[in-house]
Amino acid sequence: MTRRRSGVQHRLARVYLFQAGLISLATVLGVMITALITEHLLVERALKLEAEHFWELYDQDSSSARPNTRHLLGYLRGPEHHDPVPEAFQGLGPGFHRVTLFEREPIVYIEQRGDKTLYLEFDEERVFALALAFGIAPLSVVLLVIYLLTYLGWRKSRQLVSPLVRLADALRKTSGGDRLDRPDLSRIGAERDSEVAVLVSALENYADRLLEFVERERRFTRDASHELRTPLAVIRANLELLSARLPDSPPLRRIEDTAGDMEALTETLLMLARMEDHRIPSERLVVNDLVMNLVERLEPLAARKQVRLACRQDAVVELDAPEILLTIVLTNLIRNAINYTDSGSIEVVVADRSVTVSDTGPGMDPESLERLMKPFERGESSEGGHGLGLAIVQRLCERSGWQLDVASRPGQGTRARVVLEG
């Protein structure tokens, strides 16, 4: 099935064609209506005047000749006149009539004066054909002028709209893909000081500012992630020494948990910076194995809060994806569940093409949930985290083509589900 073109140029062409068609139809109908008016008004008026002229001549000379031309014949019947009136005229009363006569249908005008009757037979078909013949010539000229003006108008409109179409094509090609590139607007060819030229200039300036901002953000994220690694490593080393001396210290455990969150956040930010620079290669993953490893690694963190962390496997899920990205996504979801759950349990379910993390925490209302999907927002009952977890998870899912669904109700916990595609 052929796709109907819907661009600005094609819409203009359809509008001009529709306009030319309507004007042509109106012109043809106007000529036909004029011909009908000529037939019913002018012809009838002419026949009446012809009859009056004949009676004037007849009053002066009763032997005056009847009208006898190529288109008009006259017959007079009376006590003294016995013209051969066609049989089809017999029985007709005064006035105008359309009569069938030898494969013709002339107009017959009958007028009585005393005991005399005048019959005027007018073959208007020939006159009508002649009128049409003379009307076709000016009609053709009018239509040619209309078509020429329509074509010139369409050409001028196309010339004015072409830069806008090229601009739209350039932006459409630039917007494809995940990488942000500067659009090439050098071939737009807009006239100076035109609206399109102003638009091109504004877009180029906006693209320059946007790319500069994105590059500055990339540098900051990359540099900050690298700089944070060293102090975090020092904190980790000293925490291990302190934990050996104070094995059951709750403050130390909270510091260790916070340091773990900071390490995960640093790795995530560094990964986001790398994703902007180049594409991370994918590999064949068994999601079940990855989830089991994460649950085993994070189980001590949940045990410190006396929260049960379990995993249920309803299906075996395999897909092609970067392992580090899926690890960051699931780690953030499980850590958030641990941080927001003070008692109860957390269950990680591997189902068909999805991974779901459910907790028995305090839950939240829709407004709070929407707020938590934004960066630097935290729940009121959170004991840890930096307000970037769900926002980063959502960003990574969008880049990987996955779908993140989060549902929560106050007092009923929270459920986060990642639908995996690939």
> Would you list the domain boundaries of the chain?
177-279, 281-422
Q: Which range scores top for mean pLDDT: 98-102, 172-176, 266-270, 307-311?
A: 307-311
Question: Does 422 score more than 80 pLDDT?
Answer: no
| pLDDT, averaged across the chain | 78
pTM of full prediction above 0.85: no
Question: What pLDDT shows up at residue 101?
Answer: 81
Question: What pLDDT shows up at residue 2?
Answer: 42
Q: Which range scores top for mean pLDDT: 58-62, 134-138, 243-247, 386-390?
A: 58-62
Higher pLDDT pick, 329 / 252: 329
Q: Name residue, tokens 């390490």.
A: 263
Question: What pLDDT shows up at residue 355?
Answer: 94
Question: Does 349 score more than 90 pLDDT?
Answer: yes
Q: What is the CATH number of domain 281-422?
A: 3.30.565.10
Which tens digits make up the pLDDT trace of 241-267?
Answer: 887 787 777 777 777 767 776 776 677
Long-range contacts of 255-259, Cβ-Cβ distance < 8 Å, separation of 24 or more: 257/301, 257/304, 257/384, 258/384, 259/232, 259/235
pLDDT band at 321 (very low <50, low <70, confident <90, very high): confident
**Of all residues in the chain, what percent carry a pLDDT higher than 70?**
79
Question: Does 15 score more than 60 pLDDT?
Answer: yes
Q: What is the CATH number of domain 177-279?
A: 1.10.287.130
Question: What pLDDT shows up at residue 7?
Answer: 64
Question: Does 225 score more than 90 pLDDT?
Answer: no
Question: Does 117 score more than 60 pLDDT?
Answer: yes
pLDDT band at 3 (very low <50, low <70, confident <90, very high): very low
Which tens digits make up the pLDDT trace of 268-302?
Answer: 667 666 665 556 678 898 999 999 988 988 888 88
Which tens digits make up the pLDDT trace of 26-66?
Answer: 777 776 776 666 666 777 888 889 899 998 888 888 888 88
